[in-house]
Structure 1
């Protein structure tokens, strides 16, 4: 056996020993980043619009529960930056869980109501946190969530007219 063959066999042997060490060949748990925004809805129409204002310092929470059980498996609170946006890091694959972002706390005393009317009751943004869903990459985007003002801004009348929304007619 030549010297080069012995070195190659020795290298393969050392490599096999190294790869058999615990944790070396294990895949790392996937990481996901949940990105979204919190805003102040100044017209009380419960959807983001051109008059909505970003909410720096607004708080939201990601919560996960095992499908069908109702058992909470994970929660994490996050706060928005100066642009009203947040970015939460979540580790692991959560294919068997229902995951959603909900509003927690407003940073504005004049805009701190959580909508509770019609389709906007208990607003949340459901997200899928798994690699087995056809989405590529590690970033998941949540729908924007908004607190509402106690009283609509005066300039909202023009917006409602532009959108053909009659606030007095359901």
Structure 2
């Protein structure tokens, strides 16, 4: 066997080994969106606006000790959407997306009322759960305006919401 043939065979083996190693390390994409909730009713609705430039954080914590085992931040695109690449299986961890920073000065409050008192979206990052594919979809998260837009009164009436009782 010539030296060149041995070199080629060795390179081919390394290439195959590296693709096997990559194939055994799970890779996920956490996909979600951030919006500006202009009516201060703390859920996405037809008047909510996508928020470009918002910063979100993914954190995974160990179930036993609560320690942070994995963290990553991302920023939303022009459509208010983000996509975070996550490597590794996090089956034994609780992972979630939280809001970090608004992309708009006029809509920068993190909700802290009712169900939105801890705005986050939990994500399952393992292949051992029946989900197929590598994408994991987070629930939408939103910042609120300091004061509701004028057209919100009609929406609140349409939805039959009592704004005085969250």
TM-score (normalizing by structure 1)? 0.85
Larger gyration radius, structure 1 or structure 2: 1
Of 143, 151, 165 in structure 1, the residue corresponding to residue 161 of structure 2 is: 165
Unmatched segments (≥5 aa) in structure 2: 1-8
Are residues 1:87 and 2:106 paired? no
Are residues 1:28 and 2:24 paired? yes
Unmatched segments (≥5 aa) in structure 1: 1-13
> What is the Cα deviation at residue 25 of structure 1?
5.2
* Contact 1:114/1:122 (<8 A) preserved: no
Query: Which segment is superposed worse, 22-31 or 83-92?
Result: 22-31
Residue 113 of structure 1 corresponds to which residue in structure 2? 109
Of 52, 55, 65 in structure 1, the residue corresponding to residue 51 of structure 2 is: 55
> What is the Cα deviation at residue 70 of structure 1?
1.1
Of 112, 118, 123 in structure 1, the residue corresponding to residue 119 of structure 2 is: 123
Q: CA RMSD in A?
A: 1.8
Deviation per residue, 1:148-168 (Å, 9 max, x gap): 000000000000011000112
TM-score (normalizing by structure 2)? 0.87
